Amino acid sequence: MTTTHERVNGTATAPPAPHRPSRAERLAADAAARAEADRIRDEAKRDRARRDEEWAAEREQLRQDRKRTRKTSSATARSERVTAWQARLQKWWHAFVLVGAIVGVNVVAVVGQVTAFSASTEANGFGWSPLQAIATAAVIETIAIYVGWHAHTALIEGDSVMRLRVTSYAIALGVGALNYYHYAPDWRFDDQAVMFGGASVLSPWLWAMHSRHQHRQALREQGLIDPRAPKFSALRWLLWRSETWTALRWAVRYGEQSPVASILAVQAEETTAETSVLLDRTRDEVTAAQAALIRAQSAALAVLDEVADETRTETENETTHEVEIKVSPEPAESPVDLPAEGGDETPNETEIETPDETRATDAMWRHWKTSVEVERRIPTGAELAVAGNCSPQYGAKKAREWKAEMDGRIRRALLPGKKA
């Protein structure tokens, strides 16, 4: 499709020819392309170098980790081997001590019996063959060991071992006496007799020591044996003998092994005991004060009741008297009471309660009695005025009168020796 361009006058022309870059522009474009390719190639090289460094660092880290793991595992294995050898050596040492102490004593006792049985002297005259002597000596020396072994088994299983232990000791004493007699027929002191006879006697006793040790270990693992008592210094025993003894008793009672904890516990108990005594004394004093306050309140309430009853009686009497005065005939006016001509009219006023005031007084008295006897408080004049539907002045007047009379009666009741 050919695009035509129209001029102003409407004539059509051919499209312009495309722009052909010059040699310089082509060289510049080629240089820019090469520079961009070089930049991309450099970035790729840098990326490969960075990746190579990261991979090298990771390989080094893995190598270090493997080396550290090998060293750790080697150290752990070496430590385990050392621990195993230590346990094995300790076990062998215990076995050596056991063999040297128990089996060795039995071997010495058997040697003494064999020597005596195989010897042919005028003193004993046995002259047995070595086989007979060894068999007989082994049988004689193993009797006490056999009984002691049964005692050991019974003790480990938790049974009573007294009879078996006594039996093994008795057999050992008999065998020891026999072994002693071989070398001292007249029972005189002889070193060989003491050595071989003592070996025969010590055999079951040493076996019993080993048995008791294992039994106590089993009890300690099961928590069935008391722990060791705390050890206090000689200076503490010298300076604080009583406190130290109390701490020792407390530690033995509660199974405490720390001397510091025992001392602190005893001091805390003493402080608590003193505080308890002080609290009991304070509680007794508070109880006594409350009882005295209750008695005083009871006496005051009783006085208030008495005052209220007397006030009510007097008020009723006054009301009756006022009513009688109201209904009595009025006296004739005296000429002296008449005001002078041209002078000020000043009547001689006498306070006489009207029937309205009488009703107000009754209502105020009921309110006063209710407040004093039920609510245990003194009402104000305004309250009495509202209760009696009268003027505040009249209510305040009655409140002052009844309050003064009640205070006087209270003082006379509480201080009978003084005048109110």
In order along the chain (420 residues), what is the average pLDDT of each group of 10 residues? 50 66 84 90 90 91 89 87 89 76 80 80 64 84 84 81 86 88 84 86 82 80 80 92 92 88 90 86 86 76 71 64 48 41 40 60 85 81 86 87 82 58
Q: Would you tell me how many other CB atoms lie within 10 Å of the CB of residue 63?
A: 10
Do 215 and 104 lie in one domain? The reply is yes
Residues sharing a CB contact under 8 Å with residue 381, sequence separation 6 or more, in sequence order: 392, 395, 396, 397, 398, 399, 400
Query: In sequence order, what are the beta bridge partners of 13?
Result: 5
On whether the CB atoms of residues 141 and 106 are closer than 8 A, the answer is yes
Left if phi > 0, otherwise alpha if psi is -120 to 50, otherwise beta: which for 6?
beta
Range of the domain at 263: 234-290
Query: In sequence order, what are the beta bridge partners of 5?
Result: 13
Q: How many structural domains comprise the chain? A: 3
Do 300 and 201 lie in one domain? The reply is no
Instruction: Give the pLDDT of residue 332.
Output: 41
User: Roughly what angle, to the nearest 10 degrees, separates helices 162-183 and 191-221?
Assistant: 160
Do 155 and 175 lie in one domain? The reply is yes
On whether the CB atoms of residues 361 and 351 are closer than 8 A, the answer is no
Do 167 and 189 lie in one domain? The reply is yes
Instruction: Give the pLDDT of residue 55.
Output: 92
Do 204 and 268 lie in one domain? The reply is no
Do 249 and 365 lie in one domain? The reply is no
Do 252 and 239 lie in one domain? The reply is yes
Do 185 and 275 lie in one domain? The reply is no
Do 359 and 273 lie in one domain? The reply is no
Do 298 and 285 lie in one domain? The reply is no
Residue 142, in any domain of the structure: yes
Do 184 and 265 lie in one domain? The reply is no
Of 221, 247, 262, the position where a domain reaches its end is: 221
Instruction: Give the pLDDT of residue 415.
Output: 61
Give the SS3 label for residue 13. Answer: strand
- The secondary structure element, H or E, covering residue 6 is strand 5-6
Q: State which amino acid sits at residue 326.
A: K
Residues sharing a CB contact under 8 Å with residue 164, sequence separation 6 or more, in sequence order: 147, 148, 150, 151, 154
Residue 37, in any domain of the structure: no
Give the SS3 label for residue 12. Answer: strand
Residue 74, in any domain of the structure: no
Instruction: Give the pLDDT of residue 241.
Output: 92
Pairing mode, strands 12-13 and 5-6: antiparallel
On whether the CB atoms of residues 391 and 361 are closer than 8 A, the answer is no
Of 191, 221, 251, the position where a domain reaches its end is: 221
Q: How many CA atoms lie within 13 A of 268 on its CB side?
A: 7
Both tokens of residue 401? 């009168």
Instruction: Give the pLDDT of residue 237.
Output: 93
Q: Cα(first)–Cα(last) distance of the chain, in Å?
A: 140
Q: Would you tell me how many other CB atoms lie within 10 Å of the CB of residue 66?
A: 10
Residue 258, in any domain of the structure: yes
Residue 3, in any domain of the structure: no
